[in-house]
A and B are shown apart, each in its own frame.
Chain A
C-alpha cells in the first residue's frame, strides 16, 4: 500500500494527459486545432474567451474536473476570472469554485473579481447577495479584509435571514484570515446572536464557538431563546448549540448531583473494596448530607434539559450523541437513564457510528453502570462485527458486569473464546481477568476457566491466559500452588516470549510455594538461555537471583552459570542486568551495605496490579468530542468547566422588556417592566409544563389560581392603550366588559375568530442602537375565555387587551390624532391612500391544524412610533367541527415574542412570529412588500421636479412596460399603483403622466414614482430613490401590479 502512492504520482500525469486528449476529441473545438496549440490549456482559454455560454460551460466543467482530480489548473486564472460576471448561472458557479480554490495563490488577479461581488452584495435577489458574500468571504486574500468586514456587517442586518446566515458563516472565515478583527467580529456575533430565526441560530453559534468561545456573557441574554428555538434549528446547528450550551450550563448552574456524588463513591467502594468500612462511611455521609442545603434546580437548567430531550429521537446520530452528552454532564443522576435507549439505537447504524458511540458508552458505563444494564444483550457480539467494534463491545460488557449478571456474561465470553478472530479472543481473556478481579465471587471460576485455556491449541490464547493468570494469582498466591506448578510445566511447550516471561516471573516470585520445581525450571532455562528472547532472558536472571537468595544450596552454581552467560550476551541491557545482580546478591569485599538488603529488595511484597478499564476517567473530556475519542486534548478543545460552588446570578438571563416600547409604556404602566419579564418567564415555564406532562398539572393548579389573580391585576394596568389616550376610560370599560362576557361565550363558541393587530416596526435607524430588538405591540381581542385572552397577552412583553371587532379595523377619526407630526422635510405627510387592502396568508389553516392567520398592512400610522409600520393580523379558528379539541387548543394559544428582524439599512421589515398552541409551535413570517414600508407625502409638482433632479443616475431606475387592457384608465392605474405601494399622488400638468411620492417610514428617504403612458399600451415607469434596493424592488412590484 505504501509503495503505491509514488507510483500513482508517476502515472497520474500521463493518465490525466490521456483523458484530456480524449476529451478534446469530443469537445466541440476542432481536435486538429487543439493539437497545434503549444500549451495544453490554450484550447480551454479560447473556449473561455468565446461568446457562447455553452463553450464556456464546457471549458469550466473540464477545469473543475481537473481541480477535482487534484491537478493544477492555476495557469488558467486570468482566463477564468474574466467570466466571473457571466450571465449563465452555472458558469458563474463553476467560476466561483475555481476562484475559491486558486485565489490564495493568485492574489493580485483575484482582486479583479472583487467588484463583481461587491455589486452582487447589493442585488435585490437574496440568493445572489448570499452567494456573493459566500464567495467573497471564501477568497483568502488578506488585502480584502476591510471589504469583507464591511460586507459582513451589512449582511448581518440584511432583511433576508438567509443572507444573515451567510454572514454568520463568513465570520470565522474572516477571523481565520485576520484575527485582529476579533473585536469587530464579536460585535457582529453579538448582533446575530440576538436574531430570532432558526436559520441563523446554528450558524452564529458556530461562529461564536470559533471566534470567542470564552465570551460566555454574550449567551446570557440569548440563552432562553436558544433553548426554545432549538427543536426547530436544522440538525447541524443543533449539535453546535447543544455542545455550547453544555459548557454554558456548567458555568452557570449548580451540580444537580452534589448530594449524590458522595453516595455514588460509597457505592463504588462497596463494590470493589472490602465490605467492612461501609457502615462507618454511611454514617459519615448521612451527617454530611444533613449539612447541605437542599438543592433546587435553576428553572433555566430545567428548561435546557426539557427542550433537548425530544432531540434524542432525532434521526441524526450526531444530534442524539450531543443530547446524550448533555444529559450525562448536566442531568441529575436519576434522569440520565433516558439517553441509554437512544444510544443503543445508534448501534444499529453504520459501523463508524457504532465505533464512536461505543467509545462513549464505554466511558459512561463506568460512571453509570445501571443505565445500560437493561440493554446488556444489545452489546452481545456477533462474529460478523469488525474487530474494533467487538473489542469495544467487550469493554462495555466488562464494565457492566456485576454479581447478578456475571454468570450470563461469562457464558457469553465462553463463546467468544472460541472465535476465529484471535485478537478478539485475546481481548476476551483480558476481559475475563478484569471481571475476576472486580467481582470476588467469580474469581475462582474465572481462574479455573483460564487454566483450562492453558491447554488450548492456540498459542496466542495460552499466552494471553498466562499473562492474565499471573495477574490474578498475584492477588492470592498461597492458595494456588497447583496452578503455579501446572504453569511451570508449560515452559516446555509454550513459545510466546511474554507468556514464558510471565511464568518465570511467577515461579521466581512464589518459589517458596514450589520449592522443588523452581530449581528444575531454572536448570531447563539455563540450558536454553542463549536461544531465548531478551524479555525471557531478563526473567531467567531474575528467577536465578531469587532462587539464589532463597535456596542457594541448590541453585548457586546454576545462578553463576546463567550470570556468566548473560555477561557475554549481545544485548547490553542483559549484560548490565547480570552485572548489577551479581553485585547485589553475591557477597564480595567490595559489595557494600546493599548486599544485606538483597532479599528485601527482591522478595518484597508487591502489590497486585489493578486491572481497570482504559476508559476510566476519560469523562473529564466532554463526551462525544474528538478529544474524548482520542483520549488526548485535540487542538481547539474547549475544556468542560467544573460546576461552580456558588451559582452565578441567574438574573443575567432575564430578557429586558424591549427597548423602544418602554418609553411608551413607562408613562402608562410604570414600574412593571422588570417584573413583567419575570412573569413572562413564569408563564413560559408553566405553559411548557402543561404541554409536556399531566403529572405536573395538579400541583400547578394552586399556583395557577394565584397567578390568575395576579394577572387580573396586571391586566388592569395593561389594558390601557396609548392609541386611545383620549378615550382611555371608555376603552378600559370595554375591556372589562369583554372579559366578563367572555366566560359564557367560550362555551358557545363556534368558529370564533379573534383578531390581533400587531404593529411592528424597525427601531429608528438614526440611533446607534440599531441592534436593539424592535418593539411590537399586540392589541388583541379574544372572544374566548378570560384566561385565553390574558395568557395571550401575557406572553407578549407589552400586551394590550382592547376590544376590536373580529374583522379588520375600520378607520376611526380618533386615530388621526396620532398621525405623527413628523417634520423631516418640507413636505407634509399625507393621509394614507385607501384602497382595497390586500391580505396575506401567514399560516394556512391546514398547516396550523385548524388555526389560520392572515395579515394585512392597514396603512394606518402606528401610534407608538412614527418609524413603524402597522400590521394587522387576524387569527381565525376553522375547526368548528371539532369544538372540543378547539377549546383545548386555544386554551394555551399565545403569541410569543413578536419581533421585527429586518434592519437592513432601512429597507424593509421582516417579522418573524412564533405562534404557539399548546401542542404545536408554528413559525410564520411576515415579509412585507417594499411598497408597504413607506408613507405617502404631499408635494407640489415643482417640488417633485426639484427632488427628482437630485435623485438621478444611480438612484433612478427606469423600466418599460405594456399596460393590459383593463389598466388603461386613469382610475385603474392610480388604483393599481396605490395598492402596490403606500404612496400619495402628486398633481401633474401632463395628461399621460402619473406621479406619486412617498417616503420610507424608517429613514424618511424620498421615493418618487413617475409613470408615463405613451401610445397604446406602452408605458414607462421611473422610480427615483436614494435607496436603490427599495427602488428596484418597488419597480418590480408596481409592474407586477399593473400587469395583473
Chain B
C-alpha cells in the first residue's frame, strides 16, 4: 500500500496523559500509537525534554508542547519536521486567537469549531488555509452573542462564500472591512537576551525586537511605516504582507495590513551595537562546608536608563536539589519558595534608585547532604515602558488608498528576554 506524506492524524494530549481530541485526515490511526509518545515522555523526566520527533515502527510522531497540551501529529513518510512543527504551532495560535486561550477546557467546549478549523486548515494532511483572516471568514469565532443567536435561530458559524482573500493577491486581508473608528497601533517591543557572568561582566547580550500591530482600518489601506534609524535593524523577518523590495531599496515598511492583530516584523539589532544592560545584580550565595545551611543575599539595582523606571521586576532561581527551605527577608516585594520544585520567586515590582531592593537570609540544606557544587543562576524579568532600548524610533506612518484620517499610535516597551545572571 502506498503511503502518504504530510500530517496523517493529530492527537491532543493533556499533562496527565489523556487523549482528549483526535482528528484523522486519512485512514484512522489507532490511539495506541500514542503509547510510544508516553514512553518517550516518561523517559524525558520533564515535559520540555520530550523529543519533538519520535520514530516508531510504522509511524513518526512529531509533537509540540504548548500551554500544557501536547499536540502529537502522526506522520508516515518523509516530511520536513519543521514544516509540521510550524504548522502545529499555527494551529495552537489559531485556537488562542479564536478562544482567547489554548487550553484543554477551551478546546473541549468548542470541539465543533475546533473540528471545523482543523478541517479547513489541512486537506489530506497538507495545509490549506492557515491565515487567520481567511479562517475567520470561513468559520466565525464564537462570541457569547452569536452563540445565543445561533441557538435560537439555528444559523451557523460557517460562512458560505469563498473568502475573497483566497483569490486575491493579498490573501491575508479580508474584504469589506468597515470600522467607525479607524485606528492603527504599533507596539515596538524589544527584549534583551543576556548572560551576565559572576563578576558582573556581560558574556553575551543581544536585542531582539518585534513590532506587533493592531490595525483596524476600513477598506484597503496601504500603509508605509518608516524609521528614524532603520539601519539599526540587522536581521528582519517579515509578515508576508510587507513588500520586500521596498524594504531592500528604501528601508521603508510598505504593506497592506491584515485586519486585526498580527506581528508585522521581528528583528535583531545588529550585534555591533553595545547593548545597554538596564539593571545590575549584586549577589552572594554560598553554602558552608559541613553545615546544613548557606547564605543568600541578592540586591538588584538600576543602571542609567534614560530616566525611565524599571518595573515589573521578578527574579526566579532554581535552587540546588539539596536545598530544603529558605528563610529570607525582602526589603521590597514578596518572595515564595517552592520546596518541591526548588524554585525561588521574588516579585520585586518597581525599582527606585534611592532604596535598592534586597533579598537576604539563610538557606537550609538537607542535613548530611554534601554541599552543592554549583551556584544557581538568577533569571531576571523586567519591563521599561516608553523606551526601545536599541534606540529604534518610528518616524512616520503614512496611509494611501483611503480618504479618512486614521488614529495612529506607537508604543515602545523594553523587556528582559532570556536574561540570566550566573553566580
Spell out A's residues near B (CB within 8 Å).
1-2, 4-5, 8, 52-54, 57, 61, 64-65, 67-70, 88-91, 93-94, 96-97, 101, 104, 125-127, 130, 134, 137-138, 140, 160-162, 166, 169-170, 172-173, 175-176, 179, 199, 203, 206, 209-210, 231-232, 234-236, 239, 243, 310, 313-318, 320-322, 341-342, 344-345, 348, 350-353, 355-357, 374, 377-378, 380, 382-384, 386-388, 412, 415, 418-420, 456-458, 624-627, 629-630, 632, 634-638, 691-692, 844, 846-847, 919-920, 922-925
Contacts and interface: CB of A to CB of B under 8 A. Distances in A.
Given A67-B115, A415-B422, 10 more contacts: A1-B39, A54-B154, A90-B158, A97-B116, A176-B1, A310-B248, A350-B66, A356-B82, A386-B48, A634-B77
Interface string B127-163: 1101000000000000000000001011011101110
Contact of A162 (B114, B115, B167, B377): B167
Contacts of B158: 89-90, 93
The 4 A-B pairs with the shortest beta carbon distances in the complex, nearest first, are A846-B401, A54-B154, A90-B156, A636-B77
Nearest to A52: B154
A356 B220 CA distance: 39
14 contacts: A1-B39, A2-B35, A89-B156, A90-B158, A91-B156, A236-B126, A318-B83, A318-B86, A344-B235, A355-B52, A383-B377, A386-B46, A625-B78, A925-B169
Interface string B1-36: 111111000000000111111111011100110110
Nearest to B131: A234
Interface of B: 1-6, 16-24, 26-28, 31-32, 34-35, 38-39, 41-42, 46, 48-49, 51-53, 55, 60, 63-66, 75-83, 85-87, 89, 111-112, 114-116, 119, 123-124, 126-128, 130, 151, 153-154, 156-158, 160-162, 166-167, 169-171, 193, 195, 197, 203-204, 206, 208, 220, 222, 234-240, 243-246, 248-249, 256, 263, 266, 268, 271, 318, 320-321, 370, 372-377, 379, 400-402, 418, 420, 422
B195 to A, nearest CB: 6
A232 to B, nearest CB: 7
Given A57-B154, A377-B204, A626-B81, A313 B195 contact: no
A88 B130 contact: no
A382 B418 contact: yes
Contacts of B111: 64-65, 68
B80 A626 contact: yes
B373 A418 contact: yes
B78 A635 contact: yes
Contacts of A2: 35, 38-39, 42
B373 A384 contact: no
Contacts of A384: 318, 379, 418, 420
B161 A127 contact: yes
Nearest to B193: A348
B2 A419 contact: no
B167 A5 contact: no
Contact of B373 (A64, A320, A457): A457
Given A101-B28, A920-B243, A353 B2 contact: no
B320 A68 contact: no
Contacts of A353: 82, 85-86, 89
B376 A356 contact: no
Contacts of A342: 235, 237
B300 to A, nearest CB: 18
Given A4-B38, A418-B375, A315 B21 contact: no
Contacts of A377: 203-204, 206
B55 to A, nearest CB: 5
Given A89-B160, A384-B418, A68 B80 contact: no
Contact of B238 (A67, A314, A412, A637): A314
A345 B237 contact: yes
Contacts of B65: 351-352
A378 to B, nearest CB: 7
A139 to B, nearest CB: 12
B222 to A, nearest CB: 5
A70 B38 contact: no
A357 B63 CA distance: 15
A239 B195 CA distance: 35
Given A317-B82, A634-B77, A90 B157 contact: yes
B308 to A, nearest CB: 24
Nearest to A408: B203
A846 B400 contact: yes
Contacts of B160: 89, 127
A88 B156 contact: yes
Contacts of B220: 844, 846-847
B374 A310 contact: no
A464 to B, nearest CB: 14
Contact of B2 (A101, A176, A320, A374): A176
Q: Is the interface of B mostly helix, strand, loop or mixed?
A: mixed
A90 B24 CA distance: 20
B115 A64 contact: yes
B85 A356 contact: yes
Contacts of A313: 236-238, 244
A320 B268 CA distance: 16
Contact of A456 (B23, B38, B373): B373
Contacts of A91: 156
A209 B5 CA distance: 9
A378 B27 CA distance: 43
A138 B41 CA distance: 33
Contacts of B239: 315
B166 A352 contact: no
**Which of A8, A179, A316, A388 has the most CB atoms of chain B within a 10 A radius of its CB?**
A316
B53, B86, B245 interface centre (most CB from chain A within 10 Å):
B86
Given A318-B86, A457-B370, A634-B78, A345 B41 contact: no
Contacts of A386: 46, 48-49
Contacts of A627: 78
B169 A924 contact: yes
A90 B153 CA distance: 13
A456 B22 CA distance: 49
A134 B240 contact: no
B60 A634 contact: yes
Given A1-B42, A179-B2, A636-B3, A172 B124 contact: yes
B123 A169 contact: yes
B55 A632 contact: yes
A578 to B, nearest CB: 36
B40 to A, nearest CB: 10
Contacts of A382: 195, 377, 418, 420
B51 A355 contact: yes
Contacts of B243: 919-920
Given A310-B244, A418-B375, A101 B24 contact: yes
A166 B123 CA distance: 9
A352 B246 contact: no
Nearest to A54: B154
A638 B78 contact: yes
Contact of A847 (B51, B197, B256): B256
A1 B51 contact: no
B203 A387 contact: no
B169 A232 contact: yes
Given A203-B126, A356-B52, A456-B373, A243 B115 contact: no
Contacts of B19: 8, 70
Contacts of B236: 313
A97 B22 CA distance: 13
Given A140-B27, A235-B240, A352 B52 contact: yes
Contacts of B376: 383, 420
A994 B246 CA distance: 55
Nearest to B235: A341
A637 B78 CA distance: 5
Given A352-B64, A923-B169, A1 B38 contact: yes
Nearest to A94: B112
A176 B271 CA distance: 50
